[in-house]
Copies of this chain bind each other. A is one copy, B any other.
């Protein structure tokens, strides 16, 4: 069973509004084994609404339309759906009475325009609206289902839960959906795909989707089967070999972001971490402290952005900076070690790089980033080369620093030390 979703309303076509109703509907539909294959946003335009509905029904068995059930002249969803089905709209006195009563309860008088909301498509099932004046409608047409829902999210959700879910459960066969998610750091999307495509491309079920952000890739597997056991078996058959290929580049299998994973590792080991950031200017620390409870393991940080700050805040020798420049192995090392000493943390991570657009006084090119991770006994430093604009290079640098920290904790090359 598959579905399409239309958001109706010209305001949904402005630069300021996104259709969020469809996210809720997708979530609910997926949970009941219904796949959403198409979404549309259409303005208050009758012919375009009819066209969109026709196209949607050519692609999916069910169509959910939210919006355009209001009382004003630009609320055209009822008329469009009736036209599409070649059916008439019937005035129902009992709906009109109910709307009138609703207004009376609020000590208001029903406006004449609200009568528009009492028209129902011939043969449709009425979906009462507990939260507003616009009733919904459920129309069966040529073996397909058209469901008209109000636009305001709280009305739409209440109606979907109370009126649509029970009907959906009868319609949708007992399909079970199970998902697996791997989050991967430190790998370009094309490399990852080349590595795992030989596994997943032999399967339509589970479906594999790869989502890439800066230095952060999500591999989603979604199995749809008759039973939960079957679905889990499908996920295992495809997911396990993928996990083996990706190895420790997978930092999370439960959706946790990298900063939460690092936080959990630190907490488990009773470790604390501090940062010494240059080009990322606080981004690494901001991510670490975005996790509630991070004060248990975040020991603070130094934002040593300029040469002067590297000396004033961390005591980096000006001679070292002159000789090697700030974006260099020795300075990344010195920053990590100084931050560790000054904060009293178990671990430290340092980042120094050229975020661009200019190269400044550095000899390294734009996108070059050195990351250091130190504990009391040792310090590891690595160089990375990123591409992109300033924002992207900073994001990649922060992500990479967190991932290097994660690997160092896991490798135990940087051993446990009590606080």
Contacts and interface: CB of A to CB of B under 8 A. Distances in A.
Contacts of A114: 190
Copies of this protein chain in the complex: 2
Interface in A99-126: 102, 105-108, 111-114
A144 interface: no
Contacts of A39: 13, 40-41
Contact of A285 (B19, B52, B303, B342): B303
Interface residues of A, number: 110
A286 B283 contact: yes
Contact of A282 (B105, B277, B342): B277
A284 to B, nearest CB: 7
Interface in A32-52: 36-45, 48, 51-52
Interface in A268-290: 274-275, 277, 279-286, 288-290
A93 to B, nearest CB: 19
Contact of A72 (B17, B19, B197): B197
A24 B15 contact: yes
Contacts of A274: 309
Given A37-B48, A71-B190, A281-B294, 4 more contacts: A11-B209, A13-B39, A298-B306, A301-B305
17 contacts: A10-B209, A13-B37, A18-B23, A37-B42, A39-B41, A40-B41, A51-B59, A72-B190, A106-B385, A113-B194, A113-B197, A279-B289, A280-B286, A281-B289, A292-B358, A299-B306, A313-B343
